[in-house]
Amino acid sequence: MGLFSKDLKSMEDLHLHVLQDIYYAEHQIKKALPDMIEKAANRELADAFRTHLGETEKQIGRLEECFRLLGKDPKGVTCPAIDGIIKEADDIAGESEEKVIDAALVAAAQAVEHYEITRYGSLIAWSKELGLDSVAQLLKTTLEEEKATDRKLTEIGEQKVNLMAAG
């Protein structure tokens, strides 16, 4: 044991930390989506972002329910990964001409969805391990929305915006 004890001592601590991480991330995503809606030229892409903004708000509510089930106050901890992914999305959109901007936005949004999928996947596995079945259930609903959004973005990319960007 070192001189300074570390903050994450148990699986419960780790679980709570990652819950706080994704809670912060969902808030950042909620803040970023209106800008992505505005930048999207393709109507279907803008609609997909709009739908996912509504889902993201519900996902924040589900996370608050998870905190409640754990007897904790909802609280976020800075997630440097989502900050970086959103910053990169801003940068690439800012540097893209209209012809390629939607392809850039799809790729950026899929990076966000994939980050969320890894986090919810770990949280669900740990929730089950800890016997937190109601928490696992709530997180599973959200995970399915993230996966469906990712599939929708693949479809919009392959059937619409990549063709436009390449054309």
Which residues are near Fe ion by CB under 5 A? 21, 56, 59, 79, 81, 116, 146
Distance CA(12)–CA(59), nearest Å, equals 21
Cβ-based nearer residue to Fe ion, 44 or 150? 150
CB 145 within 8 Å of CB 55: yes
Greatest distance between any 2 Cα atoms in the chain: 62
> With the C-alpha atoms ordered 25, 133, 55, 72, is the resulting torsion angle positive or negative?
negative
Cβ-based nearer residue to Fe ion, 50 or 164? 50
Minimum CB–partner distance for residue 78 and Fe ion (Å): 8
78-97 in b/e burial notation, b at 16+ Cβ within 10 A? ebeebeebbeebeeebeebe
CB 106 within 8 Å of CB 136: no
Minimum CB–partner distance for residue 134 and Fe ion (Å): 19
Cβ-based nearer residue to Fe ion, 39 or 52? 52
Cβ-based nearer residue to Fe ion, 59 or 127? 59
Token look-up 């990169």 returns 88
Minimum CB–partner distance for residue 106 and Fe ion (Å): 13
Position with the least CB separation from Fe ion: 79
Minimum CB–partner distance for residue 52 and Fe ion (Å): 6
Cβ-based nearer residue to Fe ion, 102 or 146? 146
Minimum CB–partner distance for residue 129 and Fe ion (Å): 20
